[in-house]
Structure 1
Amino acid sequence: MPTGSCYLPRLRAQARWSSLLLLLLLAITFSPDALAATGSLDLTGSTVGLIAVAIFVLAYALVMGEEKLHMRKSKPVLVAAGLIWAMIGWVYVQLGMPADAEHAFRETLLEFTELMLFLLVAMTYINAMEERRVFDALRSWMLRKGFSYRQLFWITGGLAFFISPIADNLTTAMLMCAVVTKVAEGDRRFINLCCINIVIAANAGGAFSPFGDITTLMVWQAGIIQFSEFFTLLLPSLVNFLIPASVMSFFIKAHRPEGVYEDVWLKRGARRIVLLFLLTVATAVACHTLLHLPPVLGMMTGLGYLQFFGYYLRRSLPRSIERKRERYTRRGDERKLAQLGSVVPFDVFNRVARAEWDTLLFFYGVVMCVGGLGFMGYLGLLSETLYTGWSATWANITLGVISAVVDNIPVMFAVLTMQPEMSHGQWLLITLTAGVGGSLLSIGSAAGVALMGQARGSYTFMGHLRWAPVILLGYIASIVVHLWLNAASFAN
């Protein structure tokens, strides 16, 4: 797909359309028939509330212009979050209720902290595997196999779809992105298409599993949908992935990755770190399923696994080098003897430091902004307006689209808090739409946001936006398949 200057007006128009869509969706909430706010005070019609909405829209407009402005996406949302909560605090102090605002802020901060720590551990493991040359070795293997770009596109997308139900969509997307950026290093257009495909596949795969996404965890934990019932969304989720992937695959050049067919050697402990990562994911799953504790507990425990293993690697490094030197000397292997000179001790905290902090800070800003608007009453008001004024089907479809702009976690939280009267099929529908709706924009899901940081310069907001119509086609098709396939569940 060409990316010349002739496409700039179209891209600007798409960005303006997205901003207008957000304003329209927020304008719906100003209905006088809607109910009260989430906090003690309803600020949705106040001057403070309207200013807060304007600040949020302006911040997101700056995020959307990241590629043109060359400004990190975390900056505007950090400032916006501070201003929104400062206004909330000022109003509540004036009315003698500062404790209410403080409690709400702490609850919102807790929501972010769980997500941030989960992300931090996942990023640390990925950085550790990259430092141990796991992805270099995988890239070398793919080059030796001679996979074409189109085959790589389908392999990474397919793996993302089938791994995300187990390892969650965020972690899976980051793993596949690391492979793509290594295999197609420097080919921005191909990396962008692969990242879009990975985000769609990971979000779709995460929608039919309790472990695949934070929103599915929320629904499962609330006891609304049982474990086995999530798998009724498998076929709709598969359709959501396959339709846009099939269209995008026609725009991939029919050639193979350029590069040298090198023999990459894994650094000591690489395979064991991969096993520790799988053990960490299993620990996170066990914490939730067996102990009914947040999965982040298992992830942080897994970080401890890595730290202990890093300690072992450092302490045993001199003995390991000496043994290998003796072995390679006997064999006369000069190449591997030279490699020993480049061995450095493994340091876990260096891997933590290399995490994508712009992404983590962006998450903080988004969660705190949305949490502040929700406390003012906008999220509850929007959800209530939709479910009282529209049918549940159209409300759930619309909320899925909104989750691409706002974030699916607070949207699902608002729906679960309201507990609208809906059939079981409708609860499955909102689970599906909130899970896959975030694929419409790169900022609509944790996977998309993380990949924007991981593949900075190649995968961008505007690069994802130009494929939004194709992704929307998959979104609509998945809903139609669910309405047809699970029609019986809408009767109860």
Structure 2
Amino acid sequence: MESRKVMTFDSRRQGLTMLRFAGRLWMLAVPVFALLLFAPAPLHAQEAAARIDLTQHPVGYLALLIFFVAYGFVAVEEIIQLRKSKPVMLAAGLIWALLGVVYAAHGQSAVLEAAAKHVILDYGELMLFLVVAITYVNTMQERRVFAVLRAKLVSMKLSYRQLFWLVGGIAFFGCPMIDNLTTALVMGAVVVAVGVGNYQFIVMGCIIIVVAANAGGVYSPFGDVTSLMVWQKGKLEFLEFFHLFLPALVNFLVPATLMHFGVPKGMPEPVSETRQLKHGAAVVIGLFAATIATAVAFKSIFSLPPALGMMLGLGYLQMYSYILQRIGRRRDDQDMAFDSLREIRRLEWDTLLFFFGVIFAVGGLGVAGYLALVSNFLYGDLGPTVANIAIGVLGAAFDNIPLMFAVLTMNPDMSSGQWMLVTLSTGVGGSLVSIGTAAGVALMGLLRNHYTFINHLRWSWAIGLGYVASILTHLWINAALM
């Protein structure tokens, strides 16, 4: 019964919670308007073509307060049942409204407009890319691709320790094609199905899935949103991500080896479960691969945004769905056809709008001048290597997406090796705790009685050793790129 329940979960719906803190955003309404009316002019206002420094201005302080209080609502989403996109969207709008009043008062609205359009461009490219990628994942789920994979693994006569390595390996090598969240949820379903009745195996399996999915997401632009952001910004070329393969592999192997001895011995009870792919599933997989190749070609050959290539790939899928619909009608087989627009409607818009709110809120803080202060401290005083490693550790407390967007907005002058380092650290740093990444939070929601914050924390020492080992591996093998 437990496995049947897991089979029905919606992977996007289970991956809603990402971040943590606490607060109440509606209480800011009065101070917002009070400061708009009575705040003094900033001390460092520039001429017409320059940004206004608000880092020591009450409006700047209020923007910071709004940002962190919004994150508080995100943290307690499960408790108060308030979708995470709502507070961050409200926060983003309030921050830019505050900026708008100040800039309008100084006759520099055109400067702020240009900054806003730049953020819109960043988010637009990311959103279009994710819309297409998630639509393909939804379609493969509808064509039973993941269900068949799960059934095959469940039917294999393997020991618990063999299954531990198998699910971790599949998560690591499969994540570059599918995002780490979907990978974690699919493999989590496998662990629950084969480990029914064995509490310890389910716990250990979930921990290694989170570690492996996050590690596998860094050596491909498609494995994690942060990697995608780095690629779309042109900081690393497509093939340069593969320099991170060995460091990512070390990040997976070190904790997996140490955790191996904590996995129970013995074999699970055999389970027979048959599943068949729906018609056209193999073609959909091929079209997804062709779509990724198209996006890479648009970026590498034509110097066009990869989102355009992904939209062309969506055209592939739409035309194929039309063909299957026509064939299904002739054969009177309703199970053959699928509606690509229906799969688009199944997108997790709460997550996409959450990205909008986070990116615009961080962008607003950048316009206020706070990111420049942070950049000067991290990359000026500490140096890029220490800064990039520290940002990865912060990923255990803050979600890696706003951290990476902040780094990209600060745009420090770094070598390709340093951009690889921050991609690696932000990608795998969130594995240190269960709430550090979307993959971990999603599994916590799916398996509340097994995969918990405390259970994950017991193995943080091993994951931490893997984090250190992966950083040292990168600094060693990619020394010439630093």
Q: From 236, 259, 262, give the equivalent of 2:247.
A: 236
Q: Distance in 2 between matches of 1:300 and 1:222?
A: 18
Q: From 111, 124, 142, give the equivalent of 1:100.
A: 111
Q: Is the 8 A contact 2:55 2:61 kept in 1?
A: yes
With over 3 angstroms needed to count, the CA separation of the structure-2 counterparts of 1:46 and 1:441, relative to structure 1, is: farther
Indicate the residue corresponding to 2:361 in structure 1: 369
Please, which runs of 5 or more residues in structure 1 have no aligned partner? 1-16, 21-35, 322-339
Q: From 129, 133, 157, give the equivalent of 2:140.
A: 129
What do residues 227-272 of structure 1 show as CA deviations (whole Å, max 9, x unaligned)? 7665443332222222333445555555767796232222221221
With over 3 angstroms needed to count, the CA separation of the structure-2 counterparts of 1:256 and 1:487, relative to structure 1, is: same
How far residue 309 of structure 1 moved from its aligned partner, in angstroms, is 0.9
Query: In the alignment, does 2:202 pair up with 1:174?
Result: no
Q: Is the 8 A contact 2:180 2:224 kept in 1?
A: no
Point out which structure has higher relative CO (alpha carbons under 8 A, 6+ apart): 1
Q: Distance in 2 between matches of 1:257 and 1:279?
A: 38
Indicate the residue corresponding to 1:380 in structure 2: 372
With over 3 angstroms needed to count, the CA separation of the structure-2 counterparts of 1:192 and 1:237, relative to structure 1, is: same
With over 3 angstroms needed to count, the CA separation of the structure-2 counterparts of 1:471 and 1:88, relative to structure 1, is: farther
Indicate the residue corresponding to 1:411 in structure 2: 406
Indicate the residue corresponding to 2:171 in structure 1: 160
With over 3 angstroms needed to count, the CA separation of the structure-2 counterparts of 1:409 and 1:396, relative to structure 1, is: closer
How far residue 426 of structure 1 moved from its aligned partner, in angstroms, is 4.3
Amino acid at match of 2:123: F
Q: Distance in 2 between matches of 1:278 and 1:193?
A: 32
Query: In the alignment, does 2:88 pair up with 1:77?
Result: yes
Q: Distance in 2 between matches of 1:271 and 1:455?
A: 32
Query: In the alignment, does 2:61 pair up with 1:50?
Result: yes
Give the 3-state SS of the residue equivalent to 1:418 in structure 2.
coil
Indicate the residue corresponding to 1:389 in structure 2: 381
Q: Distance in 1 between matches of 2:149 and 2:202?
A: 16
With over 3 angstroms needed to count, the CA separation of the structure-2 counterparts of 1:254 and 1:89, relative to structure 1, is: farther
Q: From 299, 316, 325, give the equivalent of 2:310.
A: 299
Q: Distance in 2 between matches of 1:359 and 1:372?
A: 20
Indicate the residue corresponding to 1:399 in structure 2: 391
What do residues 285-307 of structure 1 show as CA deviations (whole Å, max 9, x unaligned)? 22222222222222211111111
With over 3 angstroms needed to count, the CA separation of the structure-2 counterparts of 1:253 and 1:125, relative to structure 1, is: farther
Please, which runs of 5 or more residues in structure 2 have no aligned partner? 1-18, 23-45
Q: Which moved more, 1:75-84 or 1:432-441?
A: 432-441
How far residue 311 of structure 1 moved from its aligned partner, in angstroms, is 0.6
Q: How many residues align?
A: 430
Amino acid at match of 1:350: R
How far residue 275 of structure 1 moved from its aligned partner, in angstroms, is 1.4
Give the 3-state SS of the residue equivalent to 2:179 in structure 1.
helix
Q: Distance in 1 between matches of 2:309 and 2:272?
A: 39
Q: Distance in 1 between matches of 2:223 and 2:419?
A: 17
Q: Distance in 1 between matches of 2:79 and 2:453?
A: 10
Identity %: 48
What's the Cα RMSD here?
3.8
With over 3 angstroms needed to count, the CA separation of the structure-2 counterparts of 1:107 and 1:69, relative to structure 1, is: same
What do residues 453-480 of structure 1 show as CA deviations (whole Å, max 9, x unaligned)? 6985448995797465543332222223
Q: Distance in 2 between matches of 1:464 and 1:363?
A: 29
Normalising by the residue count of structure 1, what TM-score does the alignment of the two structures yield?
0.74
Q: Distance in 2 between matches of 1:50 and 1:42?
A: 12
Give the 3-state SS of the residue equivalent to 1:346 in structure 2.
coil
Q: Is the 8 A contact 1:396 1:430 kept in 2?
A: yes
Q: Is the 8 A contact 1:121 1:303 kept in 2?
A: yes
Indicate the residue corresponding to 1:309 in structure 2: 320
How far residue 205 of structure 1 moved from its aligned partner, in angstroms, is 3.2
Q: Is the 8 A contact 1:233 1:432 kept in 2?
A: yes
Indicate the residue corresponding to 1:343 in structure 2: 335
Q: Is the 8 A contact 1:160 1:173 kept in 2?
A: no
Q: Is the 8 A contact 1:219 1:225 kept in 2?
A: yes
What do residues 12-61 of structure 1 show as CA deviations (whole Å, max 9, x unaligned)? xxxxx9759xxxxxxxxxxxxxxx9x970111121111111122222222
With over 3 angstroms needed to count, the CA separation of the structure-2 counterparts of 1:450 and 1:161, relative to structure 1, is: closer
Q: Is the 8 A contact 1:317 1:345 kept in 2?
A: yes
Indicate the residue corresponding to 2:425 in structure 1: 433
Indicate the residue corresponding to 1:33 in structure 2: none
Q: From 253, 277, 280, give the equivalent of 1:269.
A: 280
Q: Is the 8 A contact 2:21 2:76 kept in 1?
A: no
Q: Is the 8 A contact 1:356 1:453 kept in 2?
A: no
Q: Is the 8 A contact 1:284 1:298 kept in 2?
A: yes
Query: In the alignment, does 2:441 pair up with 1:449?
Result: no
How far residue 345 of structure 1 moved from its aligned partner, in angstroms, is 3.8
